[in-house]
C-alpha cells in the first residue's frame, strides 16, 4: 500500500514537471505537447569543448510535427514545401528551418527534441528541451532551452 502511494505521488509529480513544447503559427490550432508517450530516438551532437560527439535522447521532431498536423512524407509537396519552422529558445535565440529539410523522407536528417544527454536529464543551461540536429558539423542550429516552434506557410 505504501509503495503504491509513493508511486502515484511520483507519477503525479513527474507529470506536473514534464517539459512542454508550444507549437503555434499557421496551424488549425496552437498545440502544447508533452514528450511523454511519444516515440523515442537518439542523435549525437558535437561538443565543441571536448571535440567529441555526445549522445542525446528525445522525441523525433517528425513525430512532434505530425502531432501538430503538418504534412510530412508523401504529403509534403507543392505549397506545403513553402513552409518553414522557427525554433525559439527561452533566451530569444532563433533558428529557421524549411519543412523539407526537417523531413527525414526528403533530407535524411535525424532531428530530435532532446530531454536527455548521456542518459541524464538536460542541465538548466541546455534544457529542459534541446533541438538536436544529428550530423551538423557545429551545434549552432541545435537550439538549447527550446521553448517553442512557430510554423509559417509562405503559400496558403
What secondary structure letter does DSSP report for 123?
P
Read off the pLDDT of each residue in 88-116 and give the average, rounded to a whole number: 94
Quote the mean pLDDT of the chain: 89
Residues 20-153: name the CATH superfamily.
Answer: Oxidoreductase, molybdopterin-binding domain (3.90.420.10)
Answer whether residue 51 shows pLDDT above 60.
Answer: yes
Confidence at residue 86, expressed as pLDDT on a 0 to 100 scale: 98
> What are the residue ranges spanned by the domains of the chain?
20-153
pTM: 0.86
Amino acid at each position: 500500500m505504501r509503495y503504491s502511494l509513493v508511486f502515484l505521488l511520483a507519477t503525479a509529480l513527474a507529470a506536473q514537471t514534464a517539459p512542454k513544447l508550444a507549437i503555434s503559427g499557421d496551424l488549425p490550432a496552437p498545440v502544447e505537447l508533452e514528450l511523454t508517450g511519444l516515440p523515442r530516438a537518439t542523435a549525437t551532437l558535437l561538443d565543441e569543448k571536448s571535440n567529441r560527439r555526445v549522445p542525446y535522447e528525445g522525441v523525433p521532431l517528425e513525430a512532434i510535427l505530425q502531432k501538430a498536423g503538418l504534412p510530412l512524407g508523401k504529403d509534403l509537396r507543392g505549397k506545403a514545401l513553402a513552409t518553414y519552422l522557427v525554433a525559439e529558445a527561452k533566451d530569444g535565440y532563433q533558428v529557421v528551418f524549411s519543412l523539407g529539410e526537417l523531413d527525414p523522407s526528403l533530407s535524411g536528417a535525424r532531428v530530435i527534441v532532446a530531454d536527455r544527454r548521456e542518459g541524464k536529464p538536460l542541465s538548466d543551461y541546455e534544457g529542459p528541451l534541446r533541438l538536436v540536429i544529428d550530423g551538423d558539423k557545429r551545434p549552432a542550429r541545435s537550439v538549447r532551452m527550446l521553448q517553442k516552434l512557430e510554423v509559417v506557410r509562405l503559400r496558403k
